Amino acid sequence: MEVQLTKEDVLFQNEVRQFLEGNKYQDGTDYEAWRLAWFENARAKGGWDVPKWPVQFGGPGWSPTQHYIWERETAQVEIPGDFPFGPVMLAPVIMGYGTPEQQERFLPDIRARAVSWCQGYSEPGAGSDLASLKTKAELSEDGSHYVVNGTKMWITVAHHADWMFCLTRTSDAGRKQEGITFLLFPMDSEGVEVKPIITLGGVHDVNTVYLTDVKVPVENRIGEEGKGWTYAKGLLQHERTGLAGISRSVTALDVLKDRARSVKRGNGSLLDEAAYRNKLAELEIDLMALEYTELRSLAKSSAGSAPGPESSIMKLKGTEIQQRIQKLTVEASGPFAGAWGKHDHGPAFATQTTQAYLSGRVYTIYGGASEVQKDVIAKNVLGLKKSSRAK
């Protein structure tokens, strides 16, 4: 299976490359100033700052093939850091289910990267089984606001975020997927407390967030009360497709090969060793198969289909491949991988190898653990049903 680029697509690819080259980071430049200028310049191209937004909300209206080209080209160069919670995850929910007033209120700041967001989904007792969440949101007697109480856990960048979009329980009646409501509130609201979680790699990215009598105006509810699970499912499909990181893995594998060539082994390099080369070959074959899955999804998108259960296949295999690349990088580093941090011995890339490997253990957990993805695939792709337990 191959992507057949039309003449128009080739022209677009060249235009993307020219833009990326003309707006690349220059040493000594203030990073934040460059970041904001990059997005402004991308916006001036006709919505390139929000490539996945529809035209009516300022997006570029790209074809699926153009999205594919953009992902591949941007994976090979440095582009500004951009957390997906606002532009990629929340924005489609507001576009699809928010009121015109909410769209006018929130979307401009999301697009301008003026307000940062975090995702309040997981809880101490509701991670992979997200529908079991317990955080309560009770409507006030006058119907003007909700009072939210509960705990959210593993909340990425909550210590930097301005706002949270949060799943809360407004009813215990019916199935556990029912009675879930989608709320938005500022992180500086009274009753919001953020405490850091230092992960295995020694990094502070995630947090526990305690919510105590947090008042959320009714106008900050997205959609209908009790319908939040429906909105969250659509958001997760977009999230999982992005977390697969296929384009980034293609680039990372090329980098890994170059690194293996630089590591001396006898009269040759690590890449000359059959055992290591075979591992790379197996990884490359699996990555190629995942690319074909992405291309099949691309073909479906071209026909007008929305992300479906194939997003779980890509998330499952994509995150596993990312971890395998990290593992082979540790192997290439040899004993120098144990010298955490800066040191003057061994390959230069070995200094951050172990930290990246340890931090990467989370890839197969966040965005829906691998076990959850397998359940989705079994049910929606293979058509398997749960067997009834013998009584």
Domains, the chain, ranges and CATH?
Answer: 7-82 (no CATH), 116-227 (2.40.110.10), 244-380 (1.20.140.10)
Burial label, 228 (beta-carbon count in 10 A; 0-12, 13-18, 19+)? buried
pLDDT for 303 equals: 57
pLDDT for 341 equals: 67
pLDDT for 23 equals: 97
Burial label, 230 (beta-carbon count in 10 A; 0-12, 13-18, 19+)? middle
Which of these, 290, 289, 283, 286, lies nearest to 257 by C-alpha position?
283
pLDDT, one tens digit for every residue, the chain (391 residues):
456 788 999 999 999 999 999 999 999 999 999 999 999 999 999 999 999 899 999 999 998 889 889 989 999 999 998 888 999 999 999 999 999 999 999 999 999 999 999 999 999 988 778 889 999 999 999 999 999 999 999 999 999 999 999 999 999 998 888 999 999 999 999 999 999 999 888 889 999 999 999 999 999 999 999 999 988 876 666 555 667 788 889 999 999 999 999 999 989 999 999 999 999 999 999 999 998 888 777 666 655 566 567 778 888 999 999 999 999 999 999 988 887 766 677 888 888 888 889 988 988 888 778 888 888 888 888 888 775 554 4
pLDDT for 391 equals: 41
| CA–CA dist 227, 171 (Å, integer) | 11
pLDDT for 390 equals: 42
pLDDT for 138 equals: 98
| CA–CA dist 64, 318 (Å, integer) | 19
**Helix residue ranges per DSSP H, 139-245:** 228-243
